[in-house]
């Protein structure tokens, strides 16, 4: 094994994450996994939302020195335009950084065991970097940090746009049970920019990628994975759930400091009595919806732990959390706990948690699935609508909060999922899904490692 590891370390994998929490986390989990299997790993990264190298002494980190325009970094930016601008701004610096790695090795010669670049793994949303790596002659794998179902939707996007669907509740042929309303969307975002972005993402995979790595597992998405394999004729490695497979501690990959005090608070609560509420790292709600969420939680009578992070309310302060409604803190006394950032994986694993009110980001969805926690879903944008539909209509482990966020509707939905019969049935199914997740095998990871180790090195 030692000899095999040493041989593999000569194969270096260069990773490049999209610099947002939901993308950095699975990329660093993959980095830990690849390193634990004997490969050498370099992470190229932007200065914007940079990972902390001190938390990963086993990995090499190289900044790409990008110059990002304001529309990428400013809070509340149009997401589609932000992603397009980010791709444009990172293309040349990424290409230069990767080319330097190739040259560096060439200059040092083969005797110094720094590991020669065998391939790149680039976040699939970074289409410009996928293309750039391929142009340098480096085999490139696109990492999908979303579900296989979402990726299928992206591949189908040109066909869907041309079909001109108008009925929101119509099922989309070949993507059932997704309805038109569940397709990737970003409210308020420029529709042409979004379509352009998705077309470039799909185009880069088709023309430049040598394979696709997806943070999912056969136990929940076997049909979707099979269809992607048929459609792309590329190797597709379903290596998830990455947080279970990599065993990387959660605090290694978080970009914000969590408030661990909420775990002690959970310790004082009976099993399955607390609702955990979080809309992830990017989603925002309007001021009115925020107030309705608050009063709905208060009115439900259910204990809750709520992540109210800076920037959660659209148009509010970016550096400080939004103020809670007047009289809310007195109303909830010690029945509700508010934090600005939670140690989410530990929270979901805590016996006191009964359900998760989530925006259905893919990481949150997988983390909930892996802990057997049923969900109340409130998808906000992008792939969250796809994930929410699978949670409610394929796996049956969650229900919608409601079409509008209104305190009475919220209180009713919270009670249903926490203490109702429907909630109990969802919990049972969630438990079965948890078993499936923990039985997910490393077969796909083994094939990925074999695939990378068999590649000729680029320098
Ligand atoms: N997260 C966390 N603490 C919080 C909220 C979120 O650690 O208070 C983590 C969560 O565990 C997940 C990630 O942030 O791994 C959010 O990713 P996801 O794909 O769910 O949503 P996004 O933030 O990309 O919308």
**pLDDT one-digit tens code per residue, 178-206:** 998 888 877 777 888 888 999 999 999 99
Among 344-353, 361-370, 387-396, 433-442, which stretch is predicted with the lowest mean pLDDT? Answer: 433-442
Q: Residue holding tokens 């993308």?
A: 23
Give the model's pLDDT for residue 358: 98
Give the ligand 1 atom nearest the CA of 367: 11
Asked if the model's pLDDT at residue 431 lies above 90, the reply is: yes
pLDDT of residue 160: 81
For the chain, the domains span 2-240+441-454, 261-438
Which of 72-76, 107-111, 272-276 shows the highest mean pLDDT?
272-276
pLDDT at residue 418 in the model = 97
Res. 311: pLDDT tops 70: yes
pLDDT tens, position by position, 391-414: 999 999 999 998 899 999 999 999
Average pLDDT of every residue of the chain = 92
Handedness of CA 337, 338, 340, 346 (dihedral sign): positive
Residue with the larger pLDDT of the pair 169 and 415: 415
- Choose the most confident range, by mean pLDDT, from 195-199, 292-296, 420-424: 292-296
Per-residue model confidence (pLDDT) at position 3: 62
Mutational pocket test of ligand 1: of 363, 370, 378, the residue with most ligand atoms within 8 Å of the beta carbon: 363
Is the model's pLDDT at 40 over the cut of 60?
yes
Asked whether the predicted pLDDT for residue 270 surpasses 90, the reply is: yes
Confidence of residue 278 (pLDDT cuts 50, 70, 90): very high
Q: Is the CB of 367 under 6 A from ligand 1?
A: yes
CA distance 358 to 206: 32
Task: Say what percent of the chain tops pLDDT 70.
Answer: 95
- In the DSSP assignment, the letter for residue 285 is B
Q: How far is the CA of 459 from the centre of ligand 1 (A)?
A: 37
Task: Establish whether residue 379 lines the binding site of ligand 1, counting it when its CB lies within 6 angstroms of any ligand atom.
Answer: no
Residue 110: the pLDDT is: 45
What pLDDT is attached to residue 389? 97
In short, whether 93's Cβ falls inside 6 Å of ligand 1 is no
Phi/psi region, residue 372 (left: phi>0; alpha: psi -120 to 50; beta: rest), is left
Check residues 360 and 5 and name the one with the higher pLDDT. Answer: 360
Higher per-residue pLDDT: 384 or 459: 384
Distance 167 CA to ligand 1 centre (A): 32
Residue 336 has pLDDT above 50, yes or no: yes
Catalytic positions are 23, 123
Contacts of 441 (CB under 8 A, 6+ apart): none
pLDDT band, residue 4 (cuts 50/70/90): low
* pLDDT band, residue 49 (cuts 50/70/90): very high
Residue 107 reports pLDDT greater than 70: no
Q: How many angstroms separate the Cα of 431 from the Cα of each of 241, 305, 347, 365, 424?
A: 16, 21, 17, 14, 11
Nearest-atom number in ligand 1 for the CA of 309 is 8
Average pLDDT of 40-51? 95
Contact call for residues 414 and 275 (beta carbons, < 8 A): yes
| Residue 21, ligand 1, Cβ within 6 A | yes
- On the question of pLDDT at 13 being above 90, the answer is yes
Instruction: State the pLDDT at residue 119.
Output: 97
Asked if 2-240+441-454 and 261-438 have one fold, the answer is yes
The answer to whether residues 331 and 442 touch, using CB atoms and an 8 Å cutoff, is no
Nearest to 356 by CA among 414, 402, 407: 414
Superfamily of domain 2-240+441-454 in the CATH hierarchy:
Glycogen Phosphorylase B; (3.40.50.2000)
Q: What is the pLDDT of residue 405?
A: 95
Please work out whether the CB of residue 345 comes within 6 Å of at least one atom of ligand 1. yes
Q: According to the model, what pLDDT value does residue 111 have?
A: 41
Question: What's the pLDDT tens digit per position in 226-268?
Answer: 999 999 989 999 999 999 999 888 888 888 889 999 999 999 9
Report the candidate in 420, 354, 459 with the shortest Cα–Cα distance to residue 104: 459
Atom 17 (ligand 1) nearest CA: 22
What architecture (CATH level 2) is domain 261-438? 3-Layer(aba) Sandwich (3.40)
pLDDT (tens digit per residue) in 135-181: 999 999 999 999 999 999 999 987 887 777 777 888 998 899 999 88
423 vs 319, higher pLDDT:
423
pLDDT on residue 102 = 93
**CB of 115 within 8 A of CB of 10?**
yes
pLDDT value, residue 427: 97
Q: Band of the pLDDT at 9, cuts 50, 70, 90?
A: low
Ligand 1 site, residue 283, Cβ cutoff 6 A: yes
């Amino acid at each position: 094994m030692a000899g095999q590891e040493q041989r593999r370390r000569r194969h270096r994998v260069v990773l490049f994450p999209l610099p947002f929490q939901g993308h950095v986390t699975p990329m660093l989990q993959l980095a830990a996994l690849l390193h634990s299997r004997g490969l050498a790993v370099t992470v190229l990264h932007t200065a914007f939302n940079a990972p902390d190298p001190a938390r990963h002494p086993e990995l090499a980190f190289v900044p790409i020195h990008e110059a990002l325009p304001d529309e990428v970094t400013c809070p509340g930016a149009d997401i589609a335009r932000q992603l397009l601008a980010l791709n444009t701004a990172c293309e040349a610096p990424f290409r230069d950084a990767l080319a330097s790695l190739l040259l560096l090795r060439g200059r040092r010669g083969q005797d110094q065991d720094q590991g020669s670049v065998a391939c790149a793994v680039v976040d699939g949303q970074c289409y410009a970097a996928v293309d750039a790596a391929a142009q340098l002659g480096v085999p490139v794998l696109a990492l999908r940090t979303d579900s296989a179902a979402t990726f299928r939707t992206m591949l189908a996007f040109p066909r869907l746009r041309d079909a001109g669907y108008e009925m929101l509740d119509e099922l989309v042929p070949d993507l059932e049970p997704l309805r038109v309303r569940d397709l990737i969307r970003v409210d308020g975002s420029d529709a042409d920019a979004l379509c352009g972005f998705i077309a470039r993402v799909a185009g880069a995979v088709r023309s430049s990628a040598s394979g696709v790595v997806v943070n999912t597992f056969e136990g929940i998405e076997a049909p979707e994975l099979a269809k992607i394999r048929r459609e792309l004729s590329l190797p597709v490695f379903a290596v998830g759930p990455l947080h279970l497979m990599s065993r990387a501690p959660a605090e290694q990959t978080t970009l914000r400091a969590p408030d661990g005090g909420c775990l002690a608070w959970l310790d004082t609560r009976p099993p399955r009595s607390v609702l955990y509420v979080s809309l992830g790292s990017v989603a925002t709600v309007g001021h009115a919806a925020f107030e309705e969420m608050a009063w709905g939680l208060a009115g439900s009578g259910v204990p809750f732990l709520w992540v109210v992070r800076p920037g959660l309310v659209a148009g509010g302060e970016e550096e400080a959390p939004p103020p809670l409604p007047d009289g809310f803190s007195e109303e909830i006394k010690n029945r509700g706990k508010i934090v600005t950032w939670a140690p989410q994986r530990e929270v979901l694993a805590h016996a006191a948690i009964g359900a998760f009110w989530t925006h259905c980001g893919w990481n949150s969805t997988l983390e909930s699935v892996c802990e057997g926690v049923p969900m109340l879903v409130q998808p906000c944008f992008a792939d969250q609508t796809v994930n929410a539909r699978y949670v409610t209509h394929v796996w049956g482990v969650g229900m919608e909060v409601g079409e509008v966020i209104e305190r009475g509707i919220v209180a009713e939905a919270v009670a249903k999922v926490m203490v109702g019969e429907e909630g109990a049935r969802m919990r049972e199914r969630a438990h079965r899904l948890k078993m499936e997740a923990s039985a997910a095998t490393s077969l796909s990871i083994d094939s990925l490692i074999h695939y990378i180790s068999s590649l000729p090195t680029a320098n």
